[in-house]
């Protein structure tokens, strides 16, 4: 292979690699932006629909939280004692249909929004480490 052809092949390979790296960076930035928008959306959803009772921090240390005895989602003991209702499926049902003093959100929110909220509620759960 002559020098000119080798140079052209190497140059093409470098350009292809640069294009792939640029494409990867663009896709990564777009995914990061999408995650950021999604996190902002779920925070807004939670603050608009849940925080008046459950508090923005999930601790339910609000006047309405005390009135309705809303659970502290950051309490490891609550998650342990309520394992039968704290699974994702049951939490979705509770948000959709309501329970006790909690109103139903099934007609106000979309299924996707309810799924986001349940994921957010579950994110308050602290991992249980070794004693």
Q: What integer best gives the mean pLDDT of the chain?
A: 87
| Residue-wise pLDDT tens digits, 99-119 | 999 999 999 999 999 999 999
In a domain, 129, yes or no: no
Query: For 58-75, what is each residue's pLDDT tens digit?
Result: 999 999 999 999 999 999
What range does the domain containing 100 cover? 35-123
pTM above 0.85, yes or no: no
Count of domains for the chain = 1
126 contact partners, CB below 8 Å, separation of at least 6: 74, 76
Q: Is there a domain that residue 81 lies in?
A: yes
Specify the CATH number for the domain of residue 110. 1.10.760.10
Q: Is residue 9 part of a domain?
A: no
* DSSP assigned state of 67: H
The DSSP element (H or E) to which 53 belongs, if any, is: helix 51-54
* β-bridge mates for residue 99, sequence order: 102
């Amino acid at each position: 292979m002559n020098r000119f052809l080798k140079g052209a092949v190497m140059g093409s390979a470098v350009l292809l690699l640069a294009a792939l790296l640029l494409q990867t960076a663009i896709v990564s930035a777009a995914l990061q932006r999408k995650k950021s928008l999604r996190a902002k959306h779920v925070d807004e959803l939670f603050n608009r629909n849940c925080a008046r009772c459950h508090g923005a921090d999930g601790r339910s240390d609000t006047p309405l939280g005390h009135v309705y005895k809303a659970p502290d989602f950051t309490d490891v003991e609550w998650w342990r004692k309520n394992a039968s209702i704290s699974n994702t499926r049951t939490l979705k049902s509770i948000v959709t249909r309501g329970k006790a003093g909690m109103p139903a959100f099934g007609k106000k929110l979309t299924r996707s929004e309810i799924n986001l909220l349940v994921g957010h509620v579950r994110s308050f759960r602290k991992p249980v480490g070794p004693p």
